[in-house]
Amino acid sequence: MNKKKYSFENNFFLFSINLKIHQGSLVAVIGTVGSGKSSILAALLGEMNKIDGQVNVSGTIAYVPQTAWILNATLKDNILFGKDFNQKLYEQIIDVCALQADFGMMN
């Protein structure tokens, strides 16, 4: 095996990834913030510099990026999105969206 050395300072690298998706499949890439989801998609789309290896795509790819946006309103209004306030549902939404840490940073 020919080992190569790379400088990892201030750079992000994907390495040792093997991915096979069968034609006609619907695939969702999920993971935590900073886990490399967008980087994997950028690599598949040819938008990431490749140091080594290969990317083979047969057919077409549809890519729908996530675009963050909020209403010009309070956080609570953004969560309710026009619905009537329900304390239990509101707390569930904060929990499942993991917003507790974000709210904590605002204090």
Query: 44-73: per-residue pLDDT in tens?
Result: 888 888 788 888 888 877 777 777 788 899
Backbone angles phi, psi at 91, to 5 degrees: -65, -35
Confidence (pLDDT) at 24: 83
- Give the domain ranges of the chain: 1-67, 75-105
**What is residue 38's three-state secondary structure?**
helix
Indicate the DSSP class of residue 88. Answer: H
Tens-digit pLDDT profile for residues 20-34: 888 888 888 888 888
Distance, CA of 35 to CA of 33 (rounded, Å): 6
What distance in Å separates the CA atoms of residue 53 and residue 48, rounded to the nearest whole number?
13
Tell me: the pLDDT tens digits for 9-20? 656 677 788 888
Under 8 Å between Cβ of 52 and 4: yes
pLDDT for res 84 = 95
Task: Work out the pLDDT band at 1, boundaries 50, 70, 90.
Answer: very low
Give residue for tokens 């306030």. 85
List the Cα angle 84/81/65 in 5-degree steps. Answer: 155
Residue partners of 66: CB distance under 8 A and separation at least 6: none
3-state secondary structure of 76: helix
Per residue in 65-100, pLDDT tens?
A: 777 788 899 999 999 989 999 999 999 999 999 999
